[in-house]
Structure 1
Amino acid sequence: MSKQKLFFSYSRNDAASFASKLANDLEQAGFDIWIDQQDIPAGRNWDLEIEQALESCDCLLFIESEKSVASNNVLDEVYYALGQNKKVIPVIYHDSKTPFRLQRLQHIDFTKDYEAGLANLLAELRGQKYPHSHGSQGNVNQPPAGFFKKYLIPVLIVILLFVAGTVALLRKKGKYQDEQQHKATVANIDTGAKVMNKVKTIEEPETVRIESPAVQTTAATSTPSINAKRKFVTPKIITTPKIVNNTQPTNAAPAKLSPDGLAGHWQLVKVLPKHASH
């Protein structure tokens, strides 16, 4: 049975000693280890050697540290292995920001207890159950612990703000509609009242009574009848000249009426009584 070949991808700036120690322990456990500190001969092309090692390895161990997550060379090795469908196991040396493509991969935690982390890593490589549950982070598809804190909480806050804004907008819109409906109702009531007043004015016109001092006269030959037309003649007032009482006797002859003076149309009129003059 051939040994599994493990490729170490790490940053020499902050994880060189840890990677060397872990490589020695895994080699003693029976695994074939490839690490640049020991397996690149002098004078060889680094890129070519790394590419050949990646092609021939069975699993890549990504030593996660503050420097490795920011190293383009390290991430190139990891993403190349993923592109070749190689098994990648993140090994947490320093708690740092895990790259996005590695957040859903099962990882082994070495930050609290090295021996527990080593035992869990050996069990993972051999396909066994983890002896120390605290050294791992649950199921294979479970994201790391910092995932929820970094992403889930901000998403929940955004959702809550969106819901609160939507509720406030709906309340404001409902209040505006109620106000508009109230104004429309008041306007309809006023319009109806004006129409009713106009209808009442048309149906019940104002009656004006004019009293006239007209004198009702009828012809002497007409027969009284209920439906007979009545003729109103405006009374005429004829004033007579004053008669001056002269005590001196006069010899003047009385005036004679000529037939011509009696000619014309005569009409009986009512003469209002006049107070005697003093």
Structure 2
Amino acid sequence: MAREKIFISYQRESADVAQRIHDALEVAGFDAWVDTDRIRHTDRWATSIDEALRAADRLVVLLTAKAAASREVFNEWFFFYDHRKPIHVVRIDGCELHYQLTPFQRLEWTADADPAAWTARTNELVTALRGSFAWPSGASPDDAVVTTTPFAPARTLLGVFTALQEAIRNPDRSVALTDEQLHDIHHHPARSVREYLLSCYAR
């Protein structure tokens, strides 16, 4: 029987915690994946991340204040969000959550823990990963076609309309837009019914 694949997303300051989680999940029988210094920022890094994200069954995202501000961490959890794959949030020291992650169940951790507390934490995470996962109603496609983030790809106005249209046509997808891109849509005089309807979806 194939082991369930778990992708661990983290910001570099949490590398030790990510590695400890990786080791604990491996012991628990999961096929856990975490990037390492051997591939980080090499020519293979982006390819390895892409392959691991696509192969993974679930994602564990370690959220700290720095992780919440990380483009790479956003890209990783948004890939799972966009593909409606299970996301398990581990929030450390009560950092601020992106509003799209708010509906998801999460574990609340502190930065420091003694061995007994660490064992209890990892056991709780293992239990969550072994359980069933239901997509939160507050994060349904109907509730959030557009995710607002400064990490959205640069696009022309035509590109923004095209990306938005593709997300609306596919009920299992979302589109990431910046505040500026949303502003451009809202203040662009609609030249067709299509542009008018798309601008309404983006409100």
Short-chain TM bin: 0.5 to 0.7
> Higher relative contact order by CA 8 Å / sep ≥ 6: 1 or 2?
2
Q: Deviations over 1:120-154 (max 9, x none)?
A: 111111118xxxxxxxxxx98599xxxxxxxxxxx
CA distance in 2, matches of 1:4, 1:117: 20
CA contact under 8 A between 2:93 and 2:108: conserved in structure 1? no
- Give 1:73 shift: 1.1
Q: Which residue of 2 aligns with 1:27?
A: 26
Letter in 2 for 1:115: T
- Give 1:115 shift: 2.5
- Give 1:94 shift: 2.7
Provide runs of 4+ in structure 1 moved above 3 Å. 38-44, 139-143
Q: Which residue of 1 aligns with 2:128?
A: 124
Given the superposition, is the C-alpha separation of residues 41 and 80 from structure 1 closer, same or farther in structure 2, using an over 3 Å criterion? closer
CA contact under 8 A between 2:104 and 2:136: conserved in structure 1? yes
Q: Which residue of 2 aligns with 1:114?
A: 118
CA distance in 1, matches of 2:38, 2:6: 12
Segments of 5+ residues of structure 2 without an aligned counterpart are 139-203
Given the superposition, is the C-alpha separation of residues 126 and 39 from structure 1 closer, same or farther in structure 2, using an over 3 Å criterion? farther
Letter in 2 for 1:52: E
- Give 1:42 shift: 9.2
**Structure showing the higher strand proportion among its residues:** 2
SS in structure 2 of the partner of residue 67 of structure 1: helix
CA contact under 8 A between 2:84 and 2:135: conserved in structure 1? no
Segments of 5+ residues of structure 1 without an aligned counterpart are 129-138, 144-278
Given the superposition, is the C-alpha separation of residues 121 and 96 from structure 1 closer, same or farther in structure 2, using an over 3 Å criterion? same
Q: Which residue of 2 aligns with 1:17?
A: 16
Q: How many residues align?
A: 132
Given the superposition, is the C-alpha separation of residues 42 and 141 from structure 1 closer, same or farther in structure 2, using an over 3 Å criterion? closer
Name the TM-score, length of structure 1 as normaliser. 0.43
CA distance in 2, matches of 1:55, 1:69: 22
- Report % sequence identity: 29
Name the TM-score, length of structure 2 as normaliser. 0.58
SS in structure 2 of the partner of residue 49 of structure 1: helix
CA contact under 8 A between 1:7 and 1:54: conserved in structure 2? yes
CA contact under 8 A between 1:109 and 1:117: conserved in structure 2? no
Q: Which residue of 2 aligns with 1:60?
A: 59
Question: Bigger radius of gyration, 1 or 2?
Answer: 1
SS in structure 1 of the partner of residue 100 of structure 2: helix
CA distance in 2, matches of 1:22, 1:82: 22
Give the aligned CA root-mean-square deviation in angstroms. Answer: 2.6
